[in-house]
Amino acid sequence: MKIKNFFLLFAATSLNLFSQNSTSSPFSFIGFGENIFKGNAINRVMGGLDVFTDSININLNNPTSYAKLKVTSYALGLNLSAKDFKKNSVSEKSKTASVDYISVAIPTKFFGFGFGLIPSTSVGYRLEYNDPVAKSLSQFSGTGGINQAFFSVGFNMTRFLSLGATVNYNFGNITNLIYDYTDGIDFGTYLQNSSDYSGLNYTIASNLNFLIFKDYILKFHLSATPKNTISSNNKRVFYTQSVSNQVISDFRDVDLKKNGLDKINLSTFGKSEFGIGLGKKNKWSIGAQYSKLDLSGYRNQFLRYNNLFYSKGSKFSFGGFYIPNFLSLTNYWNRVVYRAGIRIENTGVKINNYNLNENSISVGISAPMAIYSKANLAFELGRRYIDKPNALSESFWSIRLGLSLTDIWFVKRKFN
């Protein structure tokens, strides 16, 4: 694939990323929204493991993977998700389709680097409460999210040690709307809160690879994403709207400056990871990873929810892959990579002092295409729930397609 085609495809998919709504979950009102990016298709299907790196595929969560890169890679992730919400005997369903990520990774003689766009978080909810006594209706809705534009670089320091770093520019808008209507009154009242976000954060990582018993590789991964700050420019408006003719009136822009709420700084979430993996080259690998999450510094004075608390969480991932015969010329399915993984997560969020948890299992394949390109197909089945009896729970499944399109750039063609 030519360089021009790479960037035309990159630009085209970027336009869709900014306009999409990637979730439809009542839990997305929390913090900056639902954390929808948990890795590219290859690593997410293995429970989110970041310890595995190779010379063709890029792990967007692990910048050391760029150090091993031998070919230029364009990665595109697509996602189709369905969710089923339940509380007591009441249930609702929803579906969403979105772009998960787009990236370009380029190797050089001394290091590898890459850049791309990720929809990091997403807000998409609509809740309704009917009061039969007061004959009133209240609706709560939210849209938007935060995107990340990132730049990553990875170096091979020795045969065994790789180092990498990623810088993320976070930007986006989240709008929350509250609507109240009383039966018999023509005008409903609206309260709209809108926040524009921008800020930087970074990740540093290291990978150790040791060859043991000739054909086996022992891997270690360590990374840290320190807490940082993100600026929030806020706006709040009240207005009324006629039910009969939809005319808006009594529009009032609230002065937030006098309370110091027009511009505030919020703490981003911190994370540290340790992973270990063992495998046979071009045959199989298994790995485990522990992630420590720190949400304790997050406080949003502009949007206060008295029943929400942010603390420290954790995530455990386990997964691996298997290749029947990497060099098979007669059987295509012997060259397919078969992957699976599990993820168990305490998100660090407490609702009414009860933990919000998320668990999932995944299976998938990486199917060879032209040259080194691959089509990565993954299926994930999971559940997000509050550890309280009869509380709201969310069951979900998702199908992810990740395309890894490769080429060799900056190498002069030679003809004999």
Total domain count, the chain:
1
Assess if residue 197 is contained within a domain. yes
The tens digit of pLDDT for each residue in 84-94 reads 988 877 788 88
The tens digit of pLDDT for each residue in 311-361 reads 999 999 999 999 999 888 899 999 999 999 999 999 999 999 999 999 999
The predicted pLDDT at position 92 comes to 85
Assess if residue 412 is contained within a domain. no
Asked if the model's pLDDT at residue 126 lies above 70, the reply is: yes
Sign of torsion over alpha carbons 336, 341, 347, 348? negative
Assess if residue 413 is contained within a domain. no
Assess if residue 189 is contained within a domain. yes
Rounded to whole angstroms, the Cα distance separating 123 from 174 reads 7
The tens digit of pLDDT for each residue in 200-251 reads 999 999 999 999 988 899 999 999 999 999 999 999 999 988 877 777 888 8
Q: Supply the mean pLDDT for the chain.
A: 88
Assess if residue 415 is contained within a domain. no
Assess if residue 29 is contained within a domain. yes
Assess if residue 12 is contained within a domain. yes
Domain limits at 367?
3-407
CATH label of the domain that carries residue 333: 2.40.160.60
Percent of the chain with pLDDT over 70: 93
pTM of the model: 0.88
The predicted pLDDT at position 18 comes to 52
Assess if residue 77 is contained within a domain. yes
The tens digit of pLDDT for each residue in 27-86 reads 888 889 888 887 889 999 999 999 998 888 889 999 999 998 989 989 999 999 999 988
